[in-house]
Amino acid sequence: MSKKSSLERKALKALNYDLFEAPSLSSPAPATLYTKIRESALRQALVTPEELNAERNELPEQAELARRFDMYNLVYFKGKLPRVRVIYSHRMTSAGSYTPGSRVIKIGRKYHEIFPEEINDTLKHEMIHILHLKHDRDFKKEAKRIGASIKAQSHPALSKPPKYIYVCGQCGREYPRQKRLRMASCGVCSRGGIFDEKYKLKLIKSRRIKPQDTSSNSS
């Protein structure tokens, strides 16, 4: 190094300009197997859902869903989530669900045939449920961190017919419901949102539910 360069370096160092920092001569630490796997998963995670699928309208096989679970587990959760089964549900109309008792993530096939581009988002959403069952503050914080949606979209083809229809004997307003009501009165006729026996809703229609219609709680 010339004398002039040495003087310049000393002057710049005095001004706290770290422009001539010498590169480290020590050899880098050897990469672990986990590091290599995680780096590979990170590269794959940058691929868009459209690129992961050969066609947007073709849903991945269940084996592919399991692979993506492992990939997201490494990328977003450092591989700490317990292994669960990821399967399709042909009956549920919601996007997905997680059942902690059996440790199963269900992906709604009907929903994703309409919104195939959301399948990765749904999988990440249900993976958060392994840690946080409810859509509470902690869940929303995790969803923001990994870029997952809180709510799924709605579509007319996914709406269920009401199991029960109640009516107010006073004003005739009907209340379609999926669940049976207990001690409910008309929200229009009752005052202050308090139950009023005089305006108690009456059941006028009940759809008989077959065993195969029931499904687990969905997200």
- Has residue 10 got a pLDDT over 90? no
- Has residue 69 got a pLDDT over 90? yes
One domain, residues 119 and 196: no
The answer to whether residue 191 is domain-embedded is: yes
pLDDT in tens, 45-66: 555 444 444 444 689 999 999 9
CA distance 219 to 122: 9
Share of the chain above pLDDT 70, in %: 66
One domain, residues 85 and 107: yes
One domain, residues 83 and 104: yes
Taking residues 148-153, what's their average pLDDT? 88
CA distance 33 to 71: 14
One domain, residues 103 and 75: yes
pLDDT at 219: 57
One domain, residues 139 and 45: yes
| Pairwise pLDDT comparison (146 vs 208), residue with the higher score | 146
Q: Which segment of 118-122, 171-175, 188-192, 197-201 scores lowest on mean pLDDT? A: 188-192
Strand order, beta sheet including 104-108: 85-89, 104-108, 96-99
The answer to whether residue 2 is domain-embedded is: no
Q: How many domains does the chain have?
A: 2
One domain, residues 149 and 174: no
pLDDT band for 217, please (50, 70, 90 cuts).
Answer: very low
pLDDT at 28: 46
pLDDT at 67: 96
Taking residues 1-12, what's their average pLDDT? 53
| Pairwise pLDDT comparison (5 vs 121), residue with the higher score | 121
The answer to whether residue 212 is domain-embedded is: no
Find the CATH number of the domain harbouring 118: 3.30.2010.10
Pick from 190, 210, 212: nearest CA to 201 = 190
- Structural domain span for residue 43: 33-155
The overall average pLDDT reported for the chain is 77
Calculate the dihedral angle through the C-alpha atoms of 200, 206, 212, 218, rounding to the nearest 10 degrees.
-30
One domain, residues 150 and 178: no
pLDDT at 174: 86
pLDDT at 50: 42
pTM of this structure: 0.55
The end-to-end CA distance of the chain, in Å, is: 66
- Has residue 15 got a pLDDT over 50? no
One domain, residues 41 and 138: yes
pLDDT band for 194, please (50, 70, 90 cuts).
Answer: confident
